[in-house]
Amino acid sequence: MRISLPANNLKTELATRGFKHLFHANSVETSITFFRHGAIFSRKYCEDSKIPQSSQWSDKKDKEFDIYNDIFLNFHDLHRNFSSPNDYGPVLFCFNAIKTLNFIIDTCIGLSLTKKQPHKWLKSDAPKDRWRSSISDLFPHPAMSAKARHINGWPDLVISAETLPLDLVDAVVVDKHHTSNTFNNQLQSIFQNCVDGHKLPIKIYQRKFCKLNCACKTNQYIKSKNLECKYEAGNWQSIYGKIA
């Protein structure tokens, strides 16, 4: 059984600490699906609806622990924080934190925080080993301190919903493909056409800032980390052609 937490309290904490965005990274194929439909979907929703999505390395565990029909958001841009491309894919959705939490509150969606990464969960774990029991456990430093935005451990914000509308998203950041000169232009064009079609106020950017020693600057990183498939259009290739 998961431990649900009050979204109002989290909203207050994030606003006080200066969190403007929550983040969701995904593959090119799955992101095109999101843009085409104007919403982000759970893995199970895409599977049941037979709409295109790439496989993810976490699928097996998510099914095992009944979180396959949830949507995951992070508190930081993991690419930038950990100096390496996000293993879930090169497309980063930047959700407006307050608008998203207002939507969760207004629609009475359940919200939980993980205590450790779900792929590290064990069947023998008690709920308290998987889920945080309070929002205060998330932040080790006072709200007005210089370290107010520091997070305690590894939290995922798990939203008990099949879908979130893309009008909660302020911007999308696309990672550079270091072996392709056309990747970003192609992808930004596809996304922009979808944004215009849905009349969404989303800005599309190419990532320009990450740490000097970031592993994404290594040309072979994508292949060496088995990320290559996350940069491909997959089932959308028949419409958009080869992206990477």
Estimate the share of the chain in helix, then strand, then coil, as percent rounded to the nearest 5. Answer: 40, 15, 45
Spatial distance between the Cα atoms of 84 and 62, rounded to a whole number of angstroms = 23
DSSP SS3 for 88 = coil
Of residues 144, 146, 108, 115, the one with CA closest to residue 129 = 115
pLDDT for residue 219: 67
Q: Which residue do the tokens 């431990």 mark?
A: 3
Residue 96 backbone phi and psi in degrees, to 5 = -65, 115
Spatial distance between the Cα atoms of 239 and 212, rounded to a whole number of angstroms = 37
pLDDT for residue 148: 94
- State the CB neighbour count (10 A cutoff) for residue 129: 12
Whether 110 contacts 159, CB under 8 Å: yes
pTM, whole model, 2 decimals? 0.96
Spatial distance between the Cα atoms of 146 and 159, rounded to a whole number of angstroms = 29
pLDDT for residue 181: 87
Structure tokens at 6: 């009050």
Whether 91 contacts 27, CB under 8 Å: yes
Question: Over the chain (244 residues), what is each successive 10-residue block's mean pLDDT?
Answer: 94 97 98 98 98 94 96 95 91 98 97 93 93 93 93 92 98 91 94 97 92 81 81 96 88
pLDDT for residue 44: 98
CA distances from 113 to 110, 160, 217 (A): 11, 11, 32
